Homo-oligomer: A and B are copies of this chain.
Amino acid sequence: MNQNIQGVRTDLALEAREMLTKKIRQDIPGVLMETAENDDILITRVDITTPEAERMMGKVQGKYVTLEAPGLRYKNTPLQKKIMGFLAQELADLVKLSPNATVLIVGLGNWNITPDALGPRVAHKIVVTRHLQEMLSPELKGGVRSVCAIAPGVLGITGMETGEIIQGIVNNIKPDLVIAIDALAAASSQRVITTIQLANTGIHPGSGVGNKRFGLTQQSLGAPVIAIGVPTVVHASTIAMDTINTLQEHATFARYFKSMANLSDQDRQTIVRQVLPEMLGDLMVTPKEVDRLIEDIAAVVSGGINQALHPNIDYENIHLYLH
């Protein structure tokens, strides 16, 4: 379920709240928010606590945490390490895990479509250990959880719903936790690649770059599901909608209009269809260097997950344990 307020789509709870607050000009009942700032990193925790808030926000009830840092677009090693640490911490706060837990990482999305390839790339960088549990030296036990990972591919590639594949695997492996990674759509181009969202809600149909038809939730899988996502695109229609919104919202431009505030939803759609005659949603806005950026952010997300799941691994000397 992704938000669609005035034609603007977003998978970020943060943005859905921003847009809705702006529209209704007041706080949203049942939505709690807190923020923390650390140097260049802004942490926002949104908690959707009532069914009514879920309906208004267009986002499933639960906790959503975002880490934002514009610097993530640049190969800034110290910043990347800092964010890995925060991500590990927020993940550990969202779900309490026993040292003996088995965790299944699911990399959602299509590896052939760069902006949708975040999930598969993160899955590939996870330190998998489930097959090594007997071989681990005693001092590592307790700090190296049993982790496995898969990037199942999308419906068009496999002919199977991702949900069908993951359900089958979960039934066989019986993990204590599933972490699903997915590429998201943002409403603002500034949040693309600069924001990481964690949620304890699982994955819901219609979300993500690839527009899922299935869900991965505690209900469907029988295990808790944490969703971690990074916006990699803005829908092209959002740019057009946003242009209209900007025109009508800014006092500067008021002199041009008789009554822009009343521009009907239908008229908005007409304009967007004129500018983007394609099937809406098939055109995406991405930074030109999206290939490199996805690679970099995948390293950050996988680094954070690895730290949260394997606190005792010394990554500088990872070769000592793992071959």
Using a CB–CB distance below 8 Å, which chain A residues touch chain B? Answer: 74-78, 112-116, 124, 128-132, 146-153, 155-161, 164-165, 167-173, 189-190, 209, 236, 239-240, 242-244, 246-247, 250, 252-253, 255-260, 262-263, 267, 270-272, 274-278, 282-292, 316-320, 323
Q: Which residues of B contact A291 (CB under 8 A)?
A: 112-114
Q: Which of chain B's residues have a CB closer than 8 A to the CB of A240?
A: 239-240, 242-243
Asked if A242 and B283 sit within 8 Å, CB to CB, the answer is no
A159-B130 in contact given A165-B150, A257-B258 (Cβ < 8 Å)? yes
Task: Give the residues in chain B near A244, CB-CB below 8 Å.
Answer: 243, 247
Give 6 nearest A-B pairs by CB, closest first. Answer: A128-B159, A148-B159, A168-B168, A130-B159, A168-B172, A243-B243
Nearest chain B CB to A265's CB is how many angstroms away?
Answer: 14
Contact A173 B149 (CB under 8 A): no
Q: Which residues of B contact A147 (CB under 8 A)?
A: 159
Are A157 and B149 touching (Cβ within 8 A)?
A: yes
CB pair A283–B77 under 8 Å, yes or no, is no
Q: Which listed residue, B155, B236, B253, touches A271 by the CB 8 Å rule?
A: B253
A124 partner residues in chain B, CB cutoff 8 A: 157
Report the minimum CB–CB distance from A59 to chain B (whole Å). Answer: 23
**Contact status A276-B239, CB under 8 Å:** yes
**A285:B285 contact, CB within 8 angstroms:** yes
Identical chains in the assembly: 4
Which one of B150, B246, B252, B262 lies within 8 Å of A153 (CB-CB)? B150
By the criterion CB–CB under 8 Å, are B316 and A77 in contact? yes
Question: Quick check: A319 and B75 within 8 Å, CB to CB?
Answer: yes
Residue in B165, B190, B255, B274 whose CB lies within 8 Å of A169: B165
Most interface-central of A255, A263, A286, A292 (chain B CB within 10 A): A286
Contact yes or no, B173 A239, CB < 8 A: no
Q: Assess the B165–A236 pair: CB atoms within 8 A.
A: no
Which residues of the partner chain B approach A113 to less than 8 Å between Cβ atoms?
288-291
- Contact B168–A317 (Cβ < 8 Å): no
Task: Decide: B288 and A243 in contact? CB cutoff 8 A.
Answer: no
Measured in the bound complex, the distance between the Cα atoms of B286 and A169 in whole Å is 35
Q: Is B282 a contact partner of A288 (Cβ separation < 8 A)? A: yes
Q: How far is the CB of A7 from chain B (nearest CB, A)?
A: 12
Alpha-carbon separation in the docked complex, A149 to B160 (Å): 8
Would B173 and A160 count as touching, CB distance under 8 A? yes
Docked Cα-Cα span, A288 to B260, in Å, equals 32
List the B residue with the shortest CB-CB distance to A210: B288
Contacts of A152 in B (CB 8 A): 150
Given contacts A77-B319, A283-B286, A286-B283, contact A243 B168 (CB under 8 A): no
B168 lies within 8 A of A156 (CB) = no
Asked if B260 and A246 sit within 8 Å, CB to CB, the answer is no
